[in-house]
Amino acid sequence: MMKIKHLLYISLLMLMASCVKKLEELSYEKSLDRIIENIRKPYNGIIIDTISYRKNLRATDMILSSGDTIFPTNGEVMKLIKIGDSVYKKGSDNFLYIQRKPTDKTLKLWYIKIPQKYREDDRFPVKWKGKWMDASE
């Protein structure tokens, strides 16, 4: 009877470990896909609002006149922007350009943080592996 309990306990632990590992893999895959998609996507518009999904915290996302909602992982972006600024990002680029009104001064900031583990992944575009190194962890 004790052997059966031990076997069941060990089997349960192995199953739990397997589930945790699979969840980590899925999370990694989703994060890698999201980073690649965000770099590929172009943005262009005027900032019409900023939002935070958590009460009493500073804004984390900006809403553009184009209807896009942008979530830059570079905290400097959200500190520097103002409603009315123009924002654009070219497709397949990791720089966000903020054109200040009324001065028309343009700020250039990296957009998405790229962890080294993603740069080293075979699925990460080869032409991007050595680009935007200031956006790495």
* Residue range of the domain that includes 91: 2-135
Please tell me the distance from the alpha carbon of residue 58 to that of residue 38, in angstroms, as a whole number: 22
> pLDDT band for position 24 (50/70/90)?
low
Tens digit of each residue's pLDDT (9 = 90 or more) over 72-129: 989 899 999 999 999 999 999 999 999 987 788 999 999 999 999 999 999 999 999 9
The count of structural domains within the chain is: 1
Q: The pTM is what?
A: 0.75
pLDDT in tens, 43-75: 999 999 999 888 888 889 999 999 999 999 898
Cα 3 from Cα 59, distance rounded (Å): 56
